A and B are shown apart, each in its own frame.
Chain A
Amino acid sequence: MENLSRDLFDTMIEGFALNEVQPLAASIDEEERFPSETVEKMAKIGLMGITAPVELGGAGGDERMYVRAVEVLSKYCATTGVILSAHTSLCLTPILRFGSDAQKQKYIPQLACGKLGAFGLTEPNAGTDAGNQQSTAVKTEGGYILNGSKLFITNAGYADIYVVFAMTDKSKRTKGITAFILEKDFKGFSIGKKEKKMGIRGSATCELIFENVFVPEENRLGAEGEGFKIAMSTLDGGRIGIAAQALGIAEGALDESVKYVKERKQFGKPLSALQNTQFTIADCKTRVEAAKLLVYQAADAFELQAKDVSVKAAMAKLYAAETAMYVTTKAVQMHGGYGYTREYPVERMMRDAKITEIYEGTSEVQKLVISGALLK
């Protein structure tokens, strides 16, 4: 891609995040309100289909551009970052990579133009142990009958299109898992309880319930038994999106801290004149830059579908999430008592940061992926 395009995209996304996203960040957190109006605005300028091809209504951009979008949005509002990340990495991308032509023709233009996407893999008893799926899909004439439930589903209730997983053959364990595309209006498909979360409180996280949902054959994503493979590949992309979110949160907290320590005076001088502050800021900045390189490297690997993308995605996610926790905790500390209040955004950023160490594979899972590739 032309450098000019990257430069223009950075200008655009920074302006959009500052003017349209930041003003809502505190209130949607406080009110636990999903910012539908932001999704509409993002769709209007092409942000909901960054990586989708132009002929399917997308912008024809690349993974790096998408990662920059999640990063910059998350700098001001991690809720908005994860809405875009779940939509793009977990719904649009698997349909693009594993969908039939007909599925792509039907769903990608909708997703690129404002219909929201979501992904349902996690279940009450299948979190890190994602292979232990209890939801079932039984073959019937012209399709499948789905039963079961999903937990902690981002964008649930606001999404129109869901990529979900269920067992078509329990005896085959992970090789018996199959992926499906569900529309929100499918009969028997409903949204359960909404979680009350510590952070990313504007993002909707709910249960999905399948009660004898008939899914037509043409909505099976990939072949029967390919679901686990699709889920793992999708999560590689998802992890890069969340790594970008974590990176953005860290950058936001660092920006806030730099501003604050220059203004706040104690002992007759700004906090920035104290060496402890200087060292903390230096540590934060160095980690942010290291995380950034890992995240962009992973994005490029995902774009090229490189062999080692899983490891690169895992390292990016692990390190960026730890950086988000590190920087936001230091940011609150540098803000002192004010940092603990909701008057300053670092309090929210610290709560938002924690989830990046948990969802789309915990930090522990990332370590298993990274060491597994070395020690096999």
Chain B
Amino acid sequence: MKIIVCIKQVPDTTEIKIDPVTNTLKRDGVPSIINPDDKAALEAALVLKEKFDAHVTVLCMGPPQAEKALGEAFAMGADRTILLSGREFAGADTLATSRTLAAAIRNLEYDIIIGGRQAIDGDTAQVGPQLAEHLGLPQVTYATDISYKKGVFTVVRQMEDRLQTVEVEGPLLVTVLSAMNKPRYMNVGRIVKVQKPEVWGVADIEIPPEHLGLKGSPTKVAATFTKSYNTDKKVIEVDAASAADLIIETLKAKHLIKE
């Protein structure tokens, strides 16, 4: 079995602060990590590797610093790591990113592509599904479990109020949730002999130049701002017992709860 895992390096915070002056993400002093959903994807791939002697290739598009995320992937157990990096790729939105990843993946062999549902710095959840479309693959999103038997992958999806189990023949693309597993720690021996990723530039993939980076990105960000909450509020100081009654009465008055 051949597995490709797509990962993104993101700032390590779920509460990204926005610079009020420039309206851009404040990244200074925030360490970078493998996006949590993507790390779960890598763990899922490594579990399949152990069971089926699979070969795991990890692919990441990003600046040269993303070498660390791929080093971590190697130290966790990935066999091969590839960094898609180059000035031409910069400024890519989800469409340009998925087209670039698809172009790279066309150079590789695979039975399954696994990625995270979404990245914590963008929350779009678009790259996985777009990638599947570019490659003409069936896609299963929001996965919490992946198993395999005789060419068929069984994937459990987390729906809003239920779990859905689907069986799909490979090759396919799956996006997973970080809740599906607890990623392993890097192994010390693999850290010591860590392999730097292969770096692929624009010359290594086949893609029309107009699909790349900023000029290949139809998404235009009109404005970014921090949401402020300005609801009506009233401070009433009473003891705990009467506070409970007061809350119930207020909620009833607003028809938020029934009699």
Contact = CB atoms under 8 A, between A and B. Distances in A.
Interface string B170-214: 000000000000001111110111101000000000000000000
Most buried by B among A4, A47, A59: A4
B67 interface: yes
A126 interface: no
A282 interface: no
A16 B189 contact: no
A2 interface: yes
Contact of B189 (A2, A11, A15, A58): A58
B195 to A, nearest CB: 10
A8 B189 contact: no
A16 B188 CA distance: 12
B72 A60 contact: no
B27 interface: no
Contact of B187 (A1, A2, A15, A45): A45
B191 to A, nearest CB: 5
A65 B191 CA distance: 11
Given A4-B68, A8-B72, A60 B193 contact: yes
A12 B189 contact: no
Nearest to B75: A8
Contacts of A16: 185
A59 B75 contact: no
Most buried by A among B68, B185, B194, B196: B185
Contacts of B116: none
Contacts of A11: 68, 72, 186
B71 interface: yes
A2 B67 CA distance: 13
Interface string B65-99: 00110011001000000000000000000000000
B189 A60 contact: yes
A37 interface: no
B192 A59 contact: yes
Nearest to A66: B188
Given A7-B68, A8-B72, A54 B189 contact: yes
A49 to B, nearest CB: 8
Nearest to B33: A11
A194 B184 CA distance: 35
Given A8-B68, A8-B75, A46 B196 contact: no
A5 B194 contact: yes
Interface residues of A, number: 22
A177 B113 CA distance: 62
A61 interface: yes
Interface in A18-74: 45-47, 49-50, 54, 58-61, 65
A5 B190 CA distance: 9
A2 B193 CA distance: 9
A12 B75 contact: yes
B188 A4 contact: no
Given A9-B191, A11-B72, A59-B192, A4 B186 contact: no
Given A11-B72, A12-B186, A4 B193 contact: no
B211 to A, nearest CB: 31
Interface in A50-103: 50, 54, 58-61, 65
A1 B194 CA distance: 10
Given A2-B194, A8-B194, A12-B75, A46 B188 contact: yes
A69 to B, nearest CB: 8
Nearest to A52: B189
Given A2-B194, A8-B75, A50 B68 contact: no
A45 B191 CA distance: 10
Contacts of A7: 68, 71
B34 to A, nearest CB: 10
A9 B71 CA distance: 10
Most buried by B among A46, A47, A49: A46
Given A2-B194, A4-B67, A45 B72 contact: no
A49 B75 CA distance: 16
A5 B189 CA distance: 10
A21 to B, nearest CB: 12
B21 to A, nearest CB: 25
Nearest to B185: A45
Nearest to A69: B188
Nearest to B31: A11
Contacts of B75: 8, 12
A7 B71 CA distance: 10
A8 B71 CA distance: 7
Interface in B19-74: 67-68, 71-72
A5 B192 contact: yes
Given A60-B193, A61-B192, A8 B186 contact: yes
A46 B67 CA distance: 23
Nearest to A61: B192
A41 to B, nearest CB: 8
Interface of B: 67-68, 71-72, 75, 184-189, 191-194, 196
Q: In the A-B complex, list the 3 residue pairs whose CB atoms are closest, starting with the nearest.
A: A46-B188, A59-B188, A59-B189
9 contacts: A5-B194, A7-B71, A9-B191, A49-B188, A50-B188, A58-B189, A59-B192, A60-B192, A60-B193
